[in-house]
Amino acid sequence: MRVGKLVALAGTAPLADDGSTVGIGDVYAQTVRCLDIAERALKDLGASMQDVIRTRIMLVDVTRWDEAARAHGERFEDVRPACTFVEVSRFIEPAWLVEIEIDAVVVEGGVPR
């Protein structure tokens, strides 16, 4: 959803184009897929990963945070948004290990960081 310059992405899950779950058992692969989906959604809303100011990474097993953090760090190496990792009891689909929420602010001409 985009309202003015604000973009909010919620419930980004590790889904393949056919609706199946990507990377069964693999937090890193699922995180990469969530970020791929988020990047496409941002683009569709006139934003980019450079506009991201906050991410929330929800995991069913927070002890595996480092696997998600590796994928997050690869994607946001130059952006460095505020990031929160939280543990949840489960997702709608039991095979999902991670979901991601993203907030962005679109500033024409870019924003100094």
- Evaluate whether the domain defined by 2-105 bears CATH number 3.30.1330.40: yes
Residue spans of the chain under pLDDT 70? 109-113
Question: Quick one: pLDDT at residue 112?
Answer: 43
Domain ranges of the chain: 2-105
Q: In this structure, what are the phi and psi dihedrals at residue 12, rounded to the nearest 5 degrees?
A: -75, 110
- Give the DSSP per-residue string, 37-98: HHHHHHHHTT--GGGEEEEEEEES-GGGHHHHHHHHHHHSTTT--EEEEEE-S--SSTT--E
